[in-house]
Chain A
Amino acid sequence: SRRRRDGNLKEAPATPPYNLSEYFKQFLFPQNECELHSFRLSFSQLKWDRWIIAPHRYSPQYCKGDCPRVVGHRYGSPVHTMVQNLIYEKLDPSVPKPSCVPAEYSPLSVLTIEPDGSIVYKEYEDMIATKCTCR
C-alpha cells in the first residue's frame, strides 16, 4: 500500500494550496441566522395602562433571520421546509423561501379593568414567543 500510495502521489498533479478559510466558510452559520430576539414594551407606551393594571411590562419576543438551506436538524423543521427550499432554489423562485417564525409560546397573565368597572384576572395562551423554527 505504501508503494501504491507513493505511486499515487507521484501521479497526482500538485493541487493548488486549498484555502482553508474558504473550506470552513461553508460550515459557518449565516450571520443573521433565524433566532429569537428580545423586545420589551410597557403598556403605558401604548397608553393602555389605564385599563391594563398588570403586568407593567411585557416581552413578547420575536423571530428574525435567514433560514439556512439545511434546516432539518437545527430547527425541528418538517421535511416540507427542505422541499420548499429546493423548489425555491431549483424550480420556481416565486415560491417563497422558508420563513423564520415562532414555534413555541408561553402564556401571559393580565389584570384589566373592564368597561363596566369590574376587574378581571385572565391567563392568555401564546402571548410570549419562546422558540423559533423555519417553515
Chain B
Amino acid sequence: SPHSRDSAVPDRISGLLAAPEDSELTPLLRPKGVRRGYALLPPLLKVLPHQGQQNWDSEAPRLQPDSRALRYMKRLYKMSATKEGIPKANKSHLYNTVRLFTPCSECKHSHSDLMKGDLHSVDLLFNLDRVTALEHLLKSVLLYSFDTSVPTSSSTCVCHLSVKEHDSSSQVCPSVSHSVAFSLHFEVRKRKWVEIDVTSFLQPLIATNRRNIHMAVNFTCLMGDPRPNTKQNDFINMALVPPSLLLYLNDTSEQAYHRWNSLRHRRKNPAWPRQRSSPFADVTGDEGRENTQLKRA
C-alpha cells in the first residue's frame, strides 16, 4: 500500500515521490486508490504547471521567454550537452544548472548627453523565485545582446552598475540606497553578446535568499567619432535592449547530476560485474556449471 511504500522508501527517494501539494494530478499520475499522487518524473514534473483533471496539453498559461534569451540558452545547451542530451564531460563546466531571467520591469532614465558618449541608464527588477535553496551560485552575469547588423564605427563602452536595495516605501523604481560603480571596456563592434560579470554584487544577495534584485545599469559608450551624431546615438539605444540576468548554479539536490559524484561512484565500484564464486554454488550447481563453461570457453 502507498503507506508501506512510503515507509519502505529511503528518505533520499521519498523526496522524489512527494506529491505536489495542491495539484490535482491527472489519472496518469494518480492511479486509482493511491492515496498520494506520485510525481513519476520528479524533477521534470515539478516544473509542470499544476493540472486539474484535464489532459496535459491544456497547460496553465506560461509566460513566453524573450527570443534573444531563448537563442542564447539554446546555444549554451549545444555547448554543454550532446544531441541526445548527455552532459559533455567538460572539466571547466562545474555548473549543473543555468538560469536566465529577463527583467520584469524597468524604468528608463534618459539622461542628457554628459560626455562625448551617450548615457543610457535603466533600473531593472529581477525576480529570482525559481532559484531553490539547494542551488548555490557559482557565477552571475548581465547578458547584453547587441544588434550588430546596425552599421557602426568601433566604439568602446564603459558600464556603471549599481545594485539597489528595495525599501517598502519605494515605487517600482527604487531610490538608490547603495551603489557600486565599476567600469568595463569592451569593443561593441565584434560581439553579439556581452557578458558583464556581476557575481561579486549578487553573491551576498543570493546567499541571503533575496528574491527581488533591483539594479541600475548605465552605459557610457564613447563612439569612435567624438561628435555625437543622432545616427550613432540611435545605434546605442537600439543596441542596448534591457539585459538578462544569467545565474550559473550548482544544484546540490539528489536529482541533479554531480560530475564529481559520478567519478567517485565509478571509483567506488571498480570493474563491474565482479567475477565471484558464490557460497551456494554446490546447491545450485553453479560451481560445476561454471567449470564446465570455463572449460568449454
Which residues of A are at the interface with B, using a C-beta cutoff of 8 A?
Answer: 26-27, 46-48, 50-55, 57-59, 69-70, 72-77, 79, 82-83, 85-86, 103-104, 106-126, 128, 131, 133
Contact B59 A50 (CB under 8 A): yes
Contact B130 A107 (CB under 8 A): no
B58-98 to A contact mask, C-beta < 8 Å, 1/0: 01101111000110011011001101111100000000111
What is the interface size of chain B, counting residues whose CB is below 8 A from a CB of the partner?
64
Contact B80 A109 (CB under 8 A): yes
Contact B256 A121 (CB under 8 A): no
B32-68 to A contact mask, C-beta < 8 Å, 1/0: 0000000000011001110000011101101111000
Contact B284 A113 (CB under 8 A): no
Minimum CB distance partner of B85 in chain A? A55
Minimum CB distance partner of A122 in chain B? B97
Contact A76 B273 (CB under 8 A): yes
B248-275 to A contact mask, C-beta < 8 Å, 1/0: 0001001111100110000000001111
- Closest Cβ of chain A: how far from B15's Cβ, in Å? 13
Contact B127 A116 (CB under 8 A): yes
The stretch that binds A, out of B158-166, B196-204, B229-237, B289-297, is: B289-297
- Closest Cβ of chain A: how far from B128's Cβ, in Å? 9
Minimum CB distance partner of A107 in chain B? B257
Contact A113 B65 (CB under 8 A): yes
Residues of A within 8 A of B77 (CB): 53-54, 109, 111, 121
A72-B286, A86-B284 known; A51-B84 Cβ under 8 A: no
* Of B44, B100, B130, B272, the contact of A110 (CB 8 Å cutoff): B44
Residues of B within 8 A of A131 (CB): 272
A109-B85, A120-B98, A125-B256 known; A46-B56 Cβ under 8 A: yes
Contact B289 A122 (CB under 8 A): no
15 additional contacts (CB under 8 A) given A52-B44, A55-B85, A57-B84: A48-B56, A53-B74, A53-B77, A55-B84, A73-B290, A108-B85, A111-B73, A116-B63, A117-B102, A118-B130, A122-B251, A123-B81, A123-B87, A123-B96, A128-B86
Residues of B within 8 A of A120 (CB): 97-100, 130
